[in-house]
Amino acid sequence: MSLVTGKITGVSGNLIIVVVDGAITQNEVGYAVKGEQRLKAEVIRIQGNKAFLQVFESTKGLKIGDQVEFTGELLSVNLGPGLLEQIYDGLQNPLPKLAEKYGFFLPRGAVLEPLDQERTWAFTPSVNIGDKVRAGFYLGSVPETQFTHYIMVPFDVKGEWSVVETAPAGNYTVSQQIAVIQDERGNKRSLSMQFQWPVKLPIMAYKTKMMPKEPLVTKVRIIDTFFPVAKGGTYCVPGPFGAGKTVIQQITSRYADVDIVIIAACGERAGEIVETMREFPELTDPRTGRSLMERTIIIANTSSMPVAAREASVYTATTLGEYYRQMGLGVLLLADSTSRWAQAMRELSGRLEEIPGEEAFPDYLESRIAEFYERAGLVELHNGGRGSLTIGGTVSPAGGNFEEPVTQATLKVVGAFHGLSRDRANARRFPSIHPLDSWSRYSSAVPVDIVDYARDFLFRGTEVHQMMMVVGEDGTSLDDFIVYLKSEFVDAVYLQQNGFDPVDAATSPERQNYVSQLIHSLLRKKFEFSSKEDARSYFYDLRQKFIDWNYMEYGSEEFAVQEKLISGLIKG
């Protein structure tokens, strides 16, 4: 079968219109040929013999009449050992290697193998000749950083096949044969450690998808206690500039109870991406004391890449997350920011002259966002193991207005909402997750009655505070004033947490339970203060002791001593 070619009949920004000489498919990859350069593009719409392609690079210089070669393949990523520790662009080009080869200014059309083709991996087979296998079954494994990376039957294999050859244990490159499988009709297929998968198709080589119920412990108190995330669940973080988005992302990456973290930095300001690429490799993993990159993959768009690559980066990141989920691992995907991704969608839709919906976003915006978050999930694998992919997406609504289409479409599908508040960030109350606007559908690390009771106090405290701004402290009753002091206390000692202190940054669920019980008894206590001044100095003293306590290792001797002091103050 000879591959289809076409001729460009129109160029509009990153969109090219091509008349084709044969059958092509939606999302097929084509290359616009410009002299020595081959510019990667993806078919996004077909009308008769006319195809619309989004080009992943600058279309500068492309002209009517230029040739396009189609590949017959969908936009795909390479899967196999060696993905961890990588920093890729949206098309899975390894950025540090590109920079090494081409310097800071990448030439257009520059590509490199996503996986190191020379490196060898210590492969141990786990199947025997005659074994029946299906897509996603394990053929063997290699060690990759601190994980067992399972080498799987490619996900496009349909039905049951038999193993007819398997390589002995030894060192192999990703492209060397490690097994041969055969179907009922005798068709054979040679397998290596790497294979491809189209980024826009969810990987579903598992038995079942299950309800995400088990908490994904982040060790951030306000999250685990008040607005929890579940393993395999989804959440959204609206992040206005300076609100603490990057810091919370780094904290969750380090402390969340997951194996692998994937960061999709899609099209945020260039400086922020550089920041991510520079800061992440410096982070240490609190579990190992070594680099956090050992269990991280970063997908980042360089500022020179056009909008189409932003779109691709979200899908690439998701596919890599699904791949590691198939190995029975817990994966956390942080997409930053989904608003930029949606803007790319809007720009493209405009060029396609589609009928615009709300705020000029295409009418399929909602379904695209829903499809993205649906790729999260807790799954049961063929061997009975479990893997999860949790997705957290930031949204950067212009002017912090949540009534816009991207935030609204996201809120419909996610399981938790962590609204970052600029006011809290300005007041240096970190993490700046808003305690009243945020919500979660997942279950907390702490009993629900305790959580509800505390939230009620936070709400009432805010009300008293607002009233106090009008009538002044003198016009506020002593009882109301105590409500206010109690809510401020909860905020200061529990909601706020120092992300830069190794002890305070990571509060285990046990400790959260323990401490919240103590706070609960304080909130329930009826105090008999003789004046507001008395009340204020009592809570001030208690708060200081409590904050000191937060910096002490749970279960340590000093922790126990401080606890006696605090309990004494509370019980009076």
Structure tokens at 237: 């973080």
* 506, interface contact from Mg ion, ligand ADP, none, CB < 5-8 Å by kind: none
**Contact between 170 and ligand ADP (CB under 6 A)?**
no
- Name the β-bridge partners of 143: 148
The CB density around residue 462, as the number of other CB atoms within 10 Å, is: 15
Pattern 200-239, ligand ADP, x by CB under 6 A: ---------------------------------------x
Contacts of 544 (CB under 8 A, 6+ apart): none
Residue closest to 329 by CA, chosen among 138, 496, 457, 547: 138
Give which of ligand ADP, Mg ion, none residue 244 binds (C-beta under 5 to 8 Å, depending on kind).
Answer: ligand ADP
C-beta separation of 467 from 533 below 8 A: no
Nearer residue to Mg ion within complex by CB, 276 or 550: 276
Q: How far is the CB of 220 from ligand ADP (least distance, A)?
A: 8
In the window 166-195, what residues touch Mg ion (CB under 5 A)? none
Q: Which is nearer to ligand ADP, 242 or 555 (CB)?
A: 242
Spatial CA neighbour of 200 closest among 391, 32, 368: 368
Rounded least distance, CB 248 to ligand ADP, Å? 6
Q: Which is nearer to ligand ADP, 165 or 272 (CB)?
A: 272
Looking at residue 114, what DSSP letter applies?
A: S
CA dist., res. 197 & res. 203, Å (int): 8
Q: Which residues pair with residue 74 across a beta bridge?
A: 28
How many residues touch ligand ADP (CB under 6 A)?
Answer: 13
Q: How far is CA 442 from the centre of its chain?
A: 18
Least CB distance to Mg ion at residue 272 (A): 5
Interaction residues for ligand ADP, span 234-263 (CB under 6 A): 239, 241-247
Q: Which residues pair with 236 in a beta bridge?
A: 393, 417
> Smallest distance from the beta carbon of 339 to ligand ADP, in angstroms?
13
Q: Which three-class secondary structure state does DSSP give residue 523?
A: helix
Pick 429 or 511: Cβ nearer ligand ADP: 429
Closest CA to 338 of 235, 242, 261: 235
Mask for 394-433, x = binds ligand ADP (CB under 6 A)? ------------------------------------xx--
Using the contact rule CB under 6 A, the part of the chain among 140-148, 183-191, 288-296, 494-502 near ligand ADP is 494-502
Q: Closest approach of Cβ 299 to ligand ADP, in Å?
A: 18
Residue closer to ligand ADP, measured from CB, 76 or 246? 246
Terminal Cα-to-Cα distance of the chain (whole angstroms): 86
Are residues 247 and 255 in contact, defined by beta-carbon separation less than 8 angstroms?
A: no
Q: What gap in Å lies between CA 89 and CA 169, rounded to an integer?
A: 33
CB of 252 to ligand ADP, least distance (A): 10
- The answer to whether residues 433 and 421 touch, using CB atoms and an 8 Å cutoff, is yes
Rounded to whole angstroms, the Cα distance separating 483 from 501 reads 30
Q: Please name which of 566, 462, 479 lies closest in space to residue 519, comparing C-alpha atoms.
A: 566
Q: Which is nearer to Mg ion, 274 or 370 (CB)?
A: 274
Nearer to ligand ADP, 247 or 478 (CB): 247
Closest separation between CB of residue 476 and Mg ion, Å?
Answer: 38
**Is-contact 263 242, C-beta < 8 A?**
no
Distance CA 149, CA 136 (A): 13
Whole-number minimum distance, CB 496 to ligand ADP, in Å? Answer: 8
- Which CB, 276 or 326, lies closer to ligand ADP? 276
As measured in angstroms, the least distance from the Cβ of 397 to Mg ion is 15
- CB 169, min distance to ligand ADP, A: 46
From CA 454, how far away is CA 437, in angstroms rounded? Answer: 15
Q: Interior CA angle at 374 toward 371 and 376, to 5°?
A: 135
Between 241 and 364, CB nearer to ligand ADP: 241
Nearer to Mg ion, 225 or 246 (CB): 246
Sites for ligand ADP among residues 498-557 (CB under 6 A): 498-500
- Tokens (6 digits) for 1: 């079968």
Residue numbers 227-246 binding Mg ion by CB under 5 A:
246
Question: How many residues lie near Mg ion (CB under 5 A)?
Answer: 1
Q: Please say whether the beta carbons of 77 and 196 come within 8 A.
A: yes
Contact string (CB under 6 A) for ligand ADP, positions 350-389, x = contact: ----------------------------------------
Residues near ligand ADP (CB under 6 A) are: 239, 241-247, 430-431, 498-500
